[in-house]
Amino acid sequence: MTHRGKFITFEGPEGSGKTTHARNLVARLEGAGRAVLYTREPGGTRTGEAVRGILQHDEAGEPVTPEAEVFLFAACRAQLVRQAILPALERGTTVVCDRFADSTLVYQGYARGLGVERMLTINEIAVDGAVPDLTVLLDIDVETGFRRLGSRYGAESSRDRFEREARAFHERVRRGYLELAERWPARIRTVQADAPVEAVDAAIWRVVNHVFA
C-alpha cells in the first residue's frame, strides 16, 4: 500500500526568497531519494499559467477588481489541486508548492480587506481537502524585502501587480502572515529569511526533519 505523500508549501512577503528556498528544498529532498513534485501558484497547469498572466502581469489590459482577483486565484488553485497536487500525493510523492491557499487569506483577506473567514470558505471549495502538512513561512521585514526586489528588478515598472502595491499594503501582508502563524502554529513554521541563503536553507531543513521525523 502506497503511503500518501507529504504536502509542503512556502509562503512569505515579497522578497523573502520563497522560490529560491522552495527549489533548494526540492533538490535536497530529491538528493535524499524522495520523489518530489515542485509547483507554484498561480500556475502549475496550463490553465493556471494562463490566468497567472492576468493576475500578475496585467495581460487582460484592464484593472482586475479585488473580488475577481479572489476567484481567479481560486480557479487556478482548484485546477492545480485536482490535476497535479492530489494525484501526486496519492502516488506517495512529496509536493512542494511555492504559495498556496494562505496567500489568498493574507493578500485578499487581510491586505485587500475582503475578510479572512470569507476567503476560508472560498479556499475550502478550491482545495478539496488538500491541506498542507507543513507551511514554511519565510518572514522578512518589508524594507529588506523591497531592497531585494530593487536589486533583482531595478526599475519599478518591471515588477508585477502585487510588487507594485503601496508599502502599507505589504505591511498588512506581513502582519497577516504572522497572525496566521499564531492561528495555526502546528502547521505554519516561521523561518527568518534575512540571513544568508545557506543559513535559511539549513533552518528550513531542520523544520522539515522535525515535522516529518
How far apart CA 180 and CA 186 sit, in angstroms, is 11
> 77-108: b or e for each residue (b if 16 or more CB lie within 10 Å)?
bbbbbebbbbebbeeebbbbbbbbbbbbbbbb
**Residue 38 scores a pLDDT above 60:** yes
Per-residue model confidence (pLDDT) at position 150 = 79
The answer to whether 106 and 176 are in contact (CB under 8 A) is yes
Which residue from 85, 80, 20, 86 is spatially nearest to 52, judged by alpha carbons?
80
pLDDT (0 to 100) of residue 149:
84
Helix, strand and coil content of the chain, in percent to the nearest 5, comes to 55, 10, 30
Residue 119 confidence class, pLDDT cut points 50, 70, 90: very high
Q: How many helices (H) and strands (E) does the chain have?
A: 9, 5
Contact between residue 73 and residue 108 where contact means Cβ atoms under 8 Å apart: yes
- Tell me the pLDDT tens digit for each residue of 73-82: 999 999 999 9
pLDDT tens digits along 11-22: 999 999 999 999
Length of the chain: 213
* Domain ranges for the chain: 7-212
d(CA 98, CA 108): 17
Task: Look over the chain and give the mean of its residue pLDDT values, rounded to a whole number.
Answer: 94
CATH of domain 7-212: 3.40.50.300
Whether 156 shows a pLDDT value over 60: the answer reads no
pLDDT-based confidence at residue 212 (cuts at 50, 70, 90): confident
In this prediction, residues 194-205 reach a mean pLDDT of 97
Query: Taking 60 as the threshold, does the pLDDT of residue 157 lie above it?
Result: no
